[in-house]
């Protein structure tokens, strides 16, 4: 992925670039697309998409640009322009189109939108910019195998090798979901860990340098052998959560900045029934990776299960305020657990509001469950009201 260059953009591409730049810049002055215009634009897009699917970029682009002239907020057409420009190797222009898609989608932005922009940046060798977009995408799709591999690769390429190791370890934890990626990940983690060792050695962190060197050797020579992390994963799969937790604790005793080890420790302790220990491990993980809204939601839920409902509600308020700008889908885990915390405190109206917000987020993981919780809150509220009236009548 890394190292792809941008080919020369000829006169025709330059003219097209000027045309699209004018369209992008003129958006504020354009009238908002009316329902009838949007319907017509959607019909035009059906034809334009046929050309896109056939990779007929020269045919697709004029149709897509015509749609944008009529309806500047047509997301699919703008994304299609970006895709066509990538196909024509006009990566700078493609990046502008993908940026516009992200602006148009607002709080409904998806991981794929950031991924498209990151790939356009990579083609321009703008690796730092690409890394930033991949990190945004990761927040919305924390278990996407291809996205995570690209993120790990670019972490390593721009000198963040310890973070590359963290992402690779998470990918190895996803072996059931990403079986085809495992061999490539082993190669990448071995190289990244070697570079991380050199970085730590230059910084004077000799213990961490030794840890990463051992990790590089273990993964680089792995052919049926097992690392401590591998054994811990095997124990998790076998249901020996206490044994897995002990192994993760031994790893963290050597290096307290192993992000994924803290996360796996939190999960192991949760499964073992050690809710306070799980919350503590989640807090350590989130101190290292505060952007992970999925695990914010997981920690809040464990807090509720531990009976710390008031603390969970307070933490949810803070987490939501910090992350709400990332969009509805990103904060869905926080909203769901916030609803659980409020339900625990018998604040059924407030809980219903949070579950309703979560249901409207579009999250594939949380929306359906949140809709069920909305109905459940209505039922609990009705029961509570009936009990209140019964108690009042008995006085």
Q: Among 319, 333, 323, which residue's Cα sits nearest to residue 136?
A: 323
In the predicted model, is pLDDT for residue 257 greater than 90? Answer: no
Confidence at residue 382, expressed as pLDDT on a 0 to 100 scale: 87
Q: Which fold has domain 144-225?
A: 1.25.40
Q: With 60 as the cut, is the pLDDT of residue 28 above it?
A: no
Q: Where in the chain do CATH 1.25.40.10 domains reside?
A: 1-141
Residue 15: pLDDT band (50, 70, 90) is very low
What percent of the chain is predicted at pLDDT more than 90? Answer: 64
More confident: 230 or 59:
59
DSSP states along 93-155: HHHHHHHHHHHHHGGG--HHHHHHHHHHHHHTT-HHHHHHHHHHHHHH-TT-HHHHHHHHHHH
Measuring CA to CA, how many Å separate 335 from each of 245, 279, 339, 379, 381? 28, 18, 6, 20, 19
Contact (Cβ atoms closer than 8 angstroms) between residue 388 and residue 379: no
Q: pLDDT averaged over the chain? A: 87
Domain 1-141: state its class: mainly alpha
- Whole-prediction pTM value? 0.67
User: pLDDT for 193-208, tens place per residue?
Assistant: 999 999 999 999 998 8
**DSSP character string of 24-54:** HHTGGGSPPPPHHHHHHHHHHHHHHHHHHHT
Indicate if the pLDDT at residue 227 is higher than 80.
Answer: no
pLDDT tens-place string over residues 49-72: 999 999 999 999 999 999 999 899
Name the strand (E) or helix (H) holding 347. none
């Amino acid at each position: 992925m890394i190292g792809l260059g941008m080919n020369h953009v000829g006169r025709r591409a330059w003219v097209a670039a000027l045309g699209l730049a004018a369209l992008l810049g003129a958006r504020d002055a354009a009238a908002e697309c009316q329902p009838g215009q949007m319907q017509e634009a959607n019909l035009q897009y059906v034809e334009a998409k046929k050309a896109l699917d056939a990779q007929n970029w020269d045919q697709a682009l004029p149709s897509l640009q015509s749609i944008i002239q009529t309806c500047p907020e047509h997301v699919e057409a703008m994304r299609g322009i970006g895709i066509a420009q990538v196909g024509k190797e006009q990566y700078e222009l493609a990046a502008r189109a993908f940026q516009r898609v992200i602006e148009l989608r607002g709080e409904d932005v998806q991981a794929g939108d950031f991924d498209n922009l990151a790939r356009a940046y990579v083609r321009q060798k703008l690796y730092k910019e690409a890394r930033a977009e991949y990190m945004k995408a990761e927040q919305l799709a924390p278990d996407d195998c291809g996205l995570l591999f690209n993120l790990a690769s670019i972490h390593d390429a721009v000198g963040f090798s310890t973070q590359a190791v963290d992402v690779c370890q998470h990918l190895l934890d996803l072996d059931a979901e990403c079986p085809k990626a495992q061999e490539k990940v082993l190669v990448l983690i071995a190289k990244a860990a070697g570079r991380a060792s050199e970085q730590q050695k230059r910084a004077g962190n000799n213990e961490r340098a030794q840890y990463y060197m051992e990790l590089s050797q273990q993964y680089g020579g792995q052919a049926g052998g097992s690392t401590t992390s591998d054994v811990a994963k095997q124990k998790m799969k076998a249901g020996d959560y206490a044994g897995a937790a002990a192994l993760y604790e031994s790893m963290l005793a050597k290096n307290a900045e192993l992000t994924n080890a803290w996360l796996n420790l939190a999960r192991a302790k949760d499964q073992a029934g050690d809710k306070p220990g799980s919350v503590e491990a989640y807090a350590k993980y989130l101190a290292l990776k505060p952007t992970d809204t999925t695990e914010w939601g997981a920690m809040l839920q464990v807090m509720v299960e531990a009976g710390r409902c008031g603390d969970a509600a307070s933490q949810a308020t803070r987490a939501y305020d910090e992350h709400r700008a990332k969009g509805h889908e990103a904060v869905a885990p926080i909203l769901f657990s916030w609803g659980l915390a409020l339900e625990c405190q018998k604040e059924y109206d407030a809980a219903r509001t949070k579950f309703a917000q979560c249901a409207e987020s579009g999250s594939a993981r949380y929306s359906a469950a949140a809709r069920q919780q909305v109905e459940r809150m209505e039922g609990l509220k009705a029961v509570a009201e009936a009990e209140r009236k019964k108690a009042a009548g008995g006085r």
